[in-house]
Structure 1
C-alpha cells in the first residue's frame, strides 16, 4: 500500500490471523491516520494492551465487552469508543463481530 492512499476497494487487503478467532486487515492509511478492520468469532479476545496512538473504534457488527483503563462496558452494533494514548484496553466478543478502528498516527507495526 502506498503511504498516500486516497481510495481503497473492499477486499484489497488480506486478513492476518492474530489469535484464535481474532483477525485484522489494514484498510487504508497515510502517515497521520490509519483505518483497520478487526474480525472476531464469538468469545474471541482482543487482549489487554496499550499503545501511544489515539484510537477510535466503531462496532460495525456484533457486541463487545470493552475495557478501557479498568472500566468495562458492553458496546453493541453502531456504538463507538475512544481510547486515549497510553491507556490499557481490550475487548471480548460477546458474539461474532467486527470493529473498524482508526488510529492517529498510523500504526507502523501493522504494516
Structure 2
C-alpha cells in the first residue's frame, strides 16, 4: 500500500545504492527529509549531533540505534538522541520521513 505521495517536482539526492533523500522543508532550527529505499538498501550506521525523529511512511525496516535492532513497519517511529550510532536496512521498498533539530546543513 502506498501511503504518501510526494510532489512530482521533489528533488532527490542519491545517498547510496537504492537509497535517496529529498529535503521537504527546512528552517535553521528544524528540517523535514524523506528517505526512499529500495528493498535491501542500507542506511549505513552513522552518527550526528542532531536529534532525529523518524516515521516509517511505507515499508518495513530493521532499525539499529545504539546497538539495539528493532523491526519497524509502516506507522512505526523511532527517536535518535544526538551522537548515537544508528542505521537501517530496508526489508521491503520503503519510505522514511525524518525530522532533524537543528537543521542538517550538510543536506543543503
TM-score higher than 0.5 = yes
Q: CA deviation at 1:10?
A: 2.5
State whether structure 2 residue 34 is matched by structure 1 residue 40. no
| Structure 2 gap ranges (5+) | 1-5
Runs (4+) of structure 1 exceeding 6 A deviation are none
User: Could you say what secondary structure the match of 2:57 adopts?
Assistant: strand
Name 2:52's counterpart in structure 1. Answer: 55
Q: Distance in 2 between matches of 1:75 and 1:30?
A: 28
Name 2:70's counterpart in structure 1. Answer: 73
Q: Distance in 2 between matches of 1:56 and 1:66?
A: 12
Q: Distance in 2 between matches of 1:79 and 1:68?
A: 14
Given the two structures, how large is their TM-score scaled by the length of structure 1?
0.90
Q: Distance in 1 between matches of 2:22 and 2:34?
A: 5
Q: Distance in 2 between matches of 1:33 and 1:52?
A: 13
Number of residue pairs aligned between Structure 1 and Structure 2? 103
Name 2:99's counterpart in structure 1. Answer: 102
| Structure 1 gap ranges (5+) | 1-8
**CA-atom RMSD in angstroms:** 1.1
Given the two structures, how large is their TM-score scaled by the length of structure 2?
0.92
Q: CA deviation at 1:13?
A: 3.3
User: Could you say what secondary structure the match of 1:109 adopts?
Assistant: helix
Q: Distance in 1 between matches of 2:10 and 2:29?
A: 19
Name 2:3's counterpart in structure 1. Answer: none
